[in-house]
Amino acid sequence: MADALAIAILAAGKGTRMRSALPKVLHRLSGLTLVENVIASTALVVPTRKIVIVGYEAEQVKSALTHIPDLEFVEQRQQLGTGHAVQQVIPALAGFTGNLLVLNGDVPLLRPETVERMLQTHHDNNNAATILTAQMEDPTGYGRVFTDDNLVVKEIIEHRDCTLAQRENHRTNAGIYCFRWSALMDVLPYLKADNDQSEYYLTDVIKDLAPVMAMDTAPAEVAGINNRKQLSAAEVVMQNRIKDELMLSGITLINADSITIDATVTVEPDVIIEPQTHLRGNCVIKSGCHIGPGALIENSTIGENTRLVHSVVSDSAVAAGGRIGPFAHIRGQAHVGENCRIGNFVEVKKSTIGNNTNAAHLSYLGDAELGEQVNVGAGTITVNYDGRNKHKTVIGDRTKTGANSCLVAPITIGADTTIGAGSVLTKDVEGDCLVFARSPQKSIPGWKPKYLRDE
């Protein structure tokens, strides 16, 4: 397909039925906004221009899409229908020759393969327009598309205008189009709003274009999102797609219905994911991992052959061979080295943990740098906050902290040091030594007050 391609995505509406201050296209579906899912559906085609038509909360929509390269924006200040929206791109496409693909920002389940096939159909038949259609089981309320045996469109009739016989036709208009731009420009500037809604409908150009062809796809692909119930139904569809693809690629999902995985997650083969596990954001789960049950991992990388159970990891990285949990919390740009154990009720925040280091239970490691083969005793706390600022703790290789140790930062503990249990350290410690800080043990006889002794 040598013709130049421009894509226009309609994303100007408020979405009143969502009952939300958030623009409809910014509601999330499997980790991406609705409009990001629509953009993802174009992954198999190579457009020369990508234009998003914004309106309601335009700046918010633009800001949410700044990470996507080469997007252009045009504004539809008044939302006067689909035809009016596409009219807004006319100045931006001055001098353009090629085809225009029109997508809806609230139709997020369209598959990239369907978009590719639609454009191929458009090109192979030299169509002036190609319409995506779906055979709906219950087409009530949808405009009907009438074609001949070769799928050449004869007319589109709105449901309310159909006769009883015409309503037996279940081929419906999905509102997704590919136009030869030069042919569309002969009609689009002259659209009229001669209807009850006083809006400019893109379907009105079809009767003045030829040839126009329909292409059927599965109804689920073209389901629009107008309310939270439809968003929930779309989530089920998207999750099934994601999990089917993962299982066929060599990943075991135990009780898949209880697991959620965002579209932005990468899972390598030979991973086992157990029930009630949720993978969100830009996660990478390396091969050989056993994740869950009951894990939440967000925007993090989990290295090969790591076992992670009943724990939370966010915005962090765990290297290969880790044993995480149960009930561990790793967060805030933490980096856990190879073959480390982060055990039950251990929190690691914005810290670097060296290879082969163990923190087995009941500890807090915040703003810390631990070397290799460190053993963190139960109840070890890095006291990193003075009420205003966070301070760093450094622990050298092979050092051991005793149970219930408090390391008051800023502090550096040298390598090969053993810290006695119950110590509160406030000063730096040289390496290769035993250090402890305890108050002398005292016994006070007869300590009970009189009212207790008389009982």
Catalytic residue (choose from 122, 278, 329, 361) = 361
In 232-374, where do the E strands start and end? 252-253, 260-261, 266-267, 272-273, 278-280, 284-285, 290-291, 296-298, 301-302, 307-308, 312-314, 317-318, 323-324, 329-331, 335-336, 341-349, 352-353, 358-366, 368-370
Q: Which residue has the tokens 């740098």?
A: 369
CA dihedral 136, 137, 138, 143 (to 10 degrees): 20
Do 415 and 371 meet the contact criterion of CB atoms below 8 Å apart?
A: yes
In 121-170, where do the E strands start and end? 129-135, 144-147, 153-157
Whole-angstrom distance, CA of residue 301 vs CA of residue 15: 36
Q: 268: burial class by Cβ within 10 Å (0-12, 13-18, 19+)?
A: middle
Could you count the other beta carbons within 10 Å of the beta carbon of residue 30? Answer: 20
Q: DSSP readout, 172-213?
A: EEEEEEEEEHHHHHTTGGG----STT----GGGGGGG-SSEE
Do 34 and 26 meet the contact criterion of CB atoms below 8 Å apart?
A: yes
The percent of the chain in helix, strand and coil, each rounded to the nearest 5, is: 20, 30, 50
Whole-angstrom distance, CA of residue 382 vs CA of residue 425: 10
For 142-165, b/e burial (b = at least 16 CB within 10 A) is bbbbebeeebebeebbeeeebeee
The DSSP output letter for 140 is T
Whole-angstrom distance, CA of residue 356 vs CA of residue 304: 15
Question: Which tokens is 348 given?
Answer: 């690691």
Element (H, E) at 316: none
Longest dimension (CA), the chain: 105
Name the 3-class secondary structure at 58: helix
Do 399 and 381 meet the contact criterion of CB atoms below 8 Å apart?
A: no
270 sits in the region (left: phi over 0; alpha: psi -120 to 50; else beta) called: left
361 belongs to the catalytic site: yes
Give me the active site residues, please. Answer: 361
